Amino acid sequence: MPSIVSSPVDRLAGACRVPGDKSISHRALILGALAVGETRISGLLEGDDVMRTAAAVRAYGATVARTGADGWRVLGRGVGGLAEPGDVLDLGNSGTGVRLLMGLAAGHPFTSVFTGDASLRRRPMARVTQPLTAMGARVVGHSGDRLPLALTGSADLVPLVYRTPVPSAQVKSAILLAALQAPGETTVIEAQPTRDHTERLLRQFGATVATVATSDGQAVTLVGQPELSPSAVVVPGDPSSAAFVAVAAAITPGSDVLIQGIGVNPRRAALFDVLTAMGAHLTLTPVAGHAHGEPIADLRIRGGELEGVDVPPERAPDMIDEYPVLAVAAAFAAGTTRMHGVAELRVKESDRLGTMARGLAACGVVVEEGRDSLTVHGRGRPQGGARIDADLDHRIAMSFLVMGLRARAPVAVAGADTIATSFPGFVDLMNRLGAGMSDAPA
């Protein structure tokens, strides 16, 4: 299992760009496959998760090709026009890929069989299969709702009004993708709004999607059976990838790092507010010309002292992927950081409350793991000196490599190859900024 060791350094400096947004990249490929004609995508994330979605939409009959250093082309077959895949679709580590594709598959009258790696096979799928079943799909899964899972779709789906039981953009998006094939209006009501990339892209491709505030929460309504028109999609840098670079700079005094062109959709960017509340020196400068309505900015971070904060549950959907690296920032802050209402972290690529609590403790940090909370007591520079198992979780791997940059002793991460799912080139990018990350003996 490839391991990387991250050794303490004095400062990070320089300018960089992080790879394209993972959430938007999956959606651009899927909507490209559902449009009639040619969609061009620039800035697509070429990480393993997104390449699995590209392979899957090819298996459904769309043409997907890389056209140059930064460009991809998708020739779509139209809503309802996809073909039955000839083999099992293996989505690797990607929860977003498999859940969104289940939505796409639900509106097609054939059987799709999905599987994934050991991490994805342990993740719950009922949150998606229940509403899709209510719309008319049939699903048989391992142990009920786990992968491998077979889904037989229907060309006659029924529209739905659905209140999501957990705040999840994947659930909302799967329903909206299925609803493209249902006559009339389908509405998803979210008590807590989640990232809205699907809605923005659907509008860009010509669908009618309305978002209104109601007493139950935010209601997103899609008018079914549109013809989707191909579009040019510009994928901004992934704020969830930028988060690792930002925290690395923030905990390393004397650092000065510029991350150019990242997406700062308010449903994604709450970590930057929390870091600012902790005393980090962050400046976001908007970049002119939004990519399909997604706001973009350059982020400058200078290193300094941090203080602990309380992060309330309402924050969670807007920074759900950032808690592992926030916990690392908290370990370097003076005082206690309490993260509340984060039970969803237990069903990510790993049980992130458990993996973070164990890894931080191994690095000498005092930490309390609650059922749906994590409390980190910052008491000066952590000891480090641990070897952490990434547990097939890219964000756990990157978080502990960030920890190693500034702990007293190096931190090694086993299974660091999982980083390629979302952030290919992470180690090289960090080393160009001054980090000390290298291959470790297995």
| Binding residues vs ligand S3P (CB under 6 A) | 23, 96, 168-170, 173, 195, 320-321, 344
What distance in Å separates the CA atoms of residue 370 and residue 23, rounded to the nearest whole number? 29
Task: For residue 175, give the H/E element and its range.
Answer: helix 169-179
CB of 23 to ligand S3P, least distance (A): 3
CB of 380 to ligand S3P, least distance (A): 31
Instruction: Write out the two tokens for 141.
Output: 């899964």
What distance in Å separates the CA atoms of residue 98 and residue 56, rounded to the nearest whole number? 9
CB of 168 to ligand S3P, least distance (A): 3
Identify the active-site residue in 48, 117, 321, 389: 321
- Residue pair 435/425 in contact by the 8 Å Cβ criterion: no
* Nearest C-alpha neighbor of 406 from the set 246, 289, 223, 253: 253
Instruction: Write out the two tokens for 169.
Output: 């953009």
* Nearest C-alpha neighbor of 403 from the set 371, 436, 439: 436
Cβ neighbours of residue 99 closer than 8 Å, sequence gap 6 or more? 125, 128, 170, 171, 173, 174
How are strands ordered across the β-sheet holding 310-311? 310-311, 335-340, 373-378, 366-369
Nearer to ligand S3P, 79 or 169 (CB): 169
Nearer to ligand S3P, 234 or 333 (CB): 234
Nearer to ligand S3P, 32 or 308 (CB): 32
Nearer to ligand S3P, 262 or 411 (CB): 262
Nearer to ligand S3P, 112 or 170 (CB): 170
Instruction: Write out the two tokens for 211.
Output: 């978002």
CB of 330 to ligand S3P, least distance (A): 20
Left, alpha or beta for 384 (phi > 0: left; psi -120 to 50: alpha)? left
What distance in Å separates the CA atoms of residue 194 and residue 316, rounded to the nearest whole number? 9
- Residue pair 9/405 in contact by the 8 Å Cβ criterion: yes
What distance in Å separates the CA atoms of residue 19 and residue 419, rounded to the nearest whole number? 12
**321 annotated active-site:** yes
The CA-based angle 434-435-438, given to 5 degrees, is: 130
CB of 172 to ligand S3P, least distance (A): 8
Nearer to ligand S3P, 6 or 119 (CB): 119
The CA-based angle 388-389-390, given to 5 degrees, is: 110
CB of 125 to ligand S3P, least distance (A): 11
**Residue numbers annotated as active site:** 321
